[in-house]
Structure 1
């Protein structure tokens, strides 16, 4: 494979970017320490559960769905922390607000790119439905079935142009992963430390999805987390396991690294010679088995995509509602005059 398979140089390999946020001897009240500890312990648990027991589960649609579900939970955790901190928006530093709003709109754009590709993959099933329709009836239509198989191959190999923008967004998020310095707010220090964890895990999972959908490890990131964070070990272990497995999958020369899509592709390869050369009477059983297998794998793939699409939409809504809540609070405080009107349709959302 190309040089894109080589691991990227770890980001932020210098010292703890938060030594100015929580320096040695920093005095946080027991309540704030407890809130921070609860958040970080929960984060460790979520990271450990994300590591699959079987390597074969990496980049299965079920694992990707669980990864997005976990990301939704982590973003909910940070909202819970913000509420518990009792830190009103009017006390937020302008830099915090700017970072939050900038990051949130970028995450919305990334979600749209993911949803777009899930939709593209789902559309490919229309070709396979045509194949099954032409082969499962009493009168076999081999030429039509072969044409649909060719259409499926061409559709699957097409590229989603949204990912070029998605890659640029991920680069900008990585470049600003270290958060603003906090001077005079103990609550702000806790919030920024927790938000750092959320941002790192979010970027990591997004890079996995980008690698899975784009067919390239070009933007598979290796993020360095300082050891001073209690969740650093769990994150580093998970990242090394997942990234190494993804790189191994691509280096093996597979057409796709999505497990369910690979199963469909295998079924198509078995069926194609039969519909291409015509059916010999002795191959009737083979055709029946191959057609049945294709239907089973197609249904698994379709169901997996539908469930994953729902989780991506859930994440979109969590980010969007959090952004809207902040803007609403700012408007109440007289700092923001523009309005945001959420749209529940992910595909149709125009993010500004």
Structure 2
């Protein structure tokens, strides 16, 4: 298929959404599918006020419309709810093109953590955005149930994978002689990640934060005893996972948490709250512990067999993630609607022919 992907999250950003999209595209291309990506880099942008890595594409509707009509896609997927995503949604609505969406981020919680905007307003926007979608792809059953309870429809599962080659046990240590146990958080250093719930705990050993973000300087000043390494990539990132005694995931706003499976692939047990992501990944896995008391979860995780943790991570597959994504791209799967799907899918070609003839 010729697949058009519209996203406000893309390289050089480093986050779970970008990793998921990039790895999914790589695996889909191995199956013979073709992608055209519309992302914020193609337009004039401004930065989110307190988060310069997040870019907002301005005045992109007309260009997005031209790209979609020129590409003549067989399927359209809108990955994010930002300005690029809204422009693509508007084009699909205007020309009655079927499309799918995915729910990667708890956007209402993300915004409410920064601005005085009630969650109800955020979820009203998200329902509006995703309502016309043929399928809303979500990573976990718990998130699906939560969204359905909030009035979302057409929800389908879309699993995640993990790179078990890059992230692996028994790598060269990277934390030197830091007192053990080493308890590590890896990811964006931002208020919505709830990192202070981890840093304020009275624990033996060393707390390590790997990453950058808008809250970094504040936390460094407030917790001088914590080791802040800054961001790490490639082999250094893999070594950071593997040399940790426990991986701490305090977030309450993630929908999956790819860092959880990356840590598990390194053989490092995970401690977390019973929130979206951890509550689907950890219970019964033998690879971590969840508890409303994060300190208890950390203490329990430290007792887990690291070989069992690695074995659990090996169950996650990027090829299966890609296969599920492709299955979900057909918003009208019922045989009775096949003709409607074909008709709508051919609409861009008809529009292009009319434009050419008019010229």
- Give the shorter-chain TM-score range: under 0.3
TM-score by structure 1 length?
0.26
- TM-score normalised by structure 2 residue count: 0.26
Report which structure shows greater RCO (CA 8 Å, sep ≥6). Answer: 1
More helix by share: 1
Larger radius of gyration: 1
